[in-house]
Amino acid sequence: MQNFTYKNPTEILFGKGMIREIAGRVPKDTGVLFLYGGGSIKKNGVYEQVTAALAGSRVTEFCGIEANPLFETCLKAVETVKKEKIGFILAVGGGSVLDAAKFIAVAACFTGSDPWAILKERGANVKAALPIGTVLTLPATGSESNGNSVISRKTTQEKLHFYSPHVYPRFSVLDPETTFSLPAKQLRNGIVDAFIHVMEQYATFPAHAPLQDRMAESLLQTLIEVAPAVLKKHNDYESRATFMWSATLALNTLIGCGVPQDWSTHMIAHELTAFYGLDHAETLAIVLPGVWQYKLTAKKKKLEQYGQRVWHVKTAKEAMMKTEAFFHSLKMPTRLGDYQISAKEAARKVRERLSERDSVFGEHGDITPDAASKIVASRG
């Protein structure tokens, strides 16, 4: 087992009716930014529940955070924060709104001249942030209980992430009922996103960490088991509750303690989203099988273990086939061709972009721009 430090101070408020619990947790002595996305929360009752819980607070609303939240939009929110003397951000929505809240919280306290530097330096230059609370309505990213955020820049077609211990939410409400109104596509995306978050921390090489392995496999098995009910039963509380808690534990950084981590699938997939606008989970499902194929020898032992324990098959190849079949069972495509995107062109763009940044990825640090390009080329 590798040495590690682990600290996750976010308070989870889980279950039906828990939105009301934010009442005692949002400060009354400063302005509150109520941040949300396209307005779906006005159709499913969440907006009303949040507004009721915020009674007595000075609230400024900011809506319009998009999927793959934009740097440009966040900067407008930072202006509002400064103008309205905001001291607390309440993010209500999915990972995009939560990630935006984290960037806004940091940018509002940032003393440098260009806030894009927060992303270019991956958060290393972050010294402070406004406190954040969240109400999660889309299980997927784990952003409700970690210090990660991913932000896109429209003008340059870039998508970068940062991490800071300052942006863990103070609290996150996870009420499974808020997911009842989600469209099938977002549920599918959330399942695949959580599944691949686990894989980034698991499908590497054996590292004397049997507990972490089993906990990762527990998440994979549970996501596979619960997926059909999540997609088919629209008001089934129990399956949504299990999905929601699984997605949080998939990326609250616990299962990654003491083990090697990959993240090359995410890094390459971010580029595909930046260039082509595909959903985050869609690009992950395209890239993961390519990374596994490319790194088959190095990942063989863990993929065999995964296949044997989770799918009851023998070989790494069979485990890979089962995984793609699982994605297809959720109606999630796994090829660029499924979106009429040229793999050759995408491979060229990814190579150029990653070469500019001199990026290398993966648990062995050997996914060079050239390797990433080959992986993308293989996903036509």
Residue 12 contacts a copy of itself per CB under 8 A: yes
Nearer to a copy of itself, 6 or 342 (CB): 6
Residue 18 contacts a copy of itself per CB under 8 A: yes
Nearer to a copy of itself, 149 or 239 (CB): 239
Question: How far is residue 119's CA from residue 269's CA, in Å, rounded to a whole number?
Answer: 17
Nearer to a copy of itself, 25 or 153 (CB): 25
Question: How far is residue 345's CA from residue 335's CA, in Å, rounded to a whole number?
Answer: 14
Footprint of a copy of itself on 232-271 (CB under 8 A) = 238, 241-242, 245-246, 249, 254, 257-258
Side chain identity at residue 58, one-letter code: R
Residue 21 contacts a copy of itself per CB under 8 A: yes
Q: Report how far apart the first and last C-alpha atoms of the chain are (Å, whole number).
A: 38
Nearer to a copy of itself, 238 or 366 (CB): 238
Other beta carbons within 10 angstroms of residue 181's beta carbon come to: 16
Nearer to a copy of itself, 21 or 66 (CB): 21
CB of 247 to a copy of itself, least distance (A): 10
Question: How far is residue 239's CA from residue 180's CA, in Å, rounded to a whole number?
Answer: 11
The encoded tokens of residue 82 equal 């400064």
What mask of x and - would describe binding to a copy of itself in positions 156 to 175, judged by CB under 8 A? --------------------
Give the distance from CA 304 to its chain's centroid. 26
Asked if residues 159 and 150 have their Cβ atoms less than 8 Å apart, the reply is yes
Residue 111 contacts a copy of itself per CB under 8 A: no
Which residue is listed with tokens 């998508």? Answer: 159
Output the DSSP codes for 41-79.
GGTSSHHHHHHHHTTTSEEEEE--PPSS-BHHHHHHHHH
Q: Taking CA 41 as the corner, what is the angle to CA 37 and CA 45, rounded to the nearest 5 degrees?
A: 170
The encoded tokens of residue 31 equal 């302005």
Nearer to a copy of itself, 9 or 112 (CB): 9
CB of 357 to a copy of itself, least distance (A): 31
Number of residues that bind a copy of itself (CB under 8 A): 41
CB of 202 to a copy of itself, least distance (A): 13
Footprint of a copy of itself on 358-377 (CB under 8 A) = none
Residue 3 contacts a copy of itself per CB under 8 A: yes
From 8-16, 40-48, 85-93, 148-156, give the range in contact with a copy of itself by CB under 8 A: 8-16
Residue 217 contacts a copy of itself per CB under 8 A: yes
Exposure of 17 by Cβ count < 10 A (0-12 exposed, 13-18 middle, 19+ buried)? exposed
* Cβ density class 228-238: b for 16+ within 10 Å, e for less: eebbeeeebee
CB of 320 to a copy of itself, least distance (A): 23
Residue 121 contacts a copy of itself per CB under 8 A: no
CB of 139 to a copy of itself, least distance (A): 12
Helix 237-250, helix 210-232: angle, nearest 10 = 140
Nearer to a copy of itself, 234 or 344 (CB): 234
Residue 209 contacts a copy of itself per CB under 8 A: yes
Output the DSSP codes for 240-263.
HHHHHHHHHHHTSSSTTTTS----
CB of 164 to a copy of itself, least distance (A): 15
Residue 332 contacts a copy of itself per CB under 8 A: no
Dihedral pair phi/psi, residue 196, rounded to 5° = -75, -25
Residue 23 contacts a copy of itself per CB under 8 A: no
Residue 13 contacts a copy of itself per CB under 8 A: yes
CB of 146 to a copy of itself, least distance (A): 14
Question: How far is residue 65's CA from residue 13's CA, in Å, rounded to a whole number?
Answer: 24
Q: Which residues bind a copy of itself (CB under 8 A)?
A: 1-18, 21, 208-211, 214-215, 217-219, 221-222, 225-226, 238, 241-242, 245-246, 249, 254, 257-258
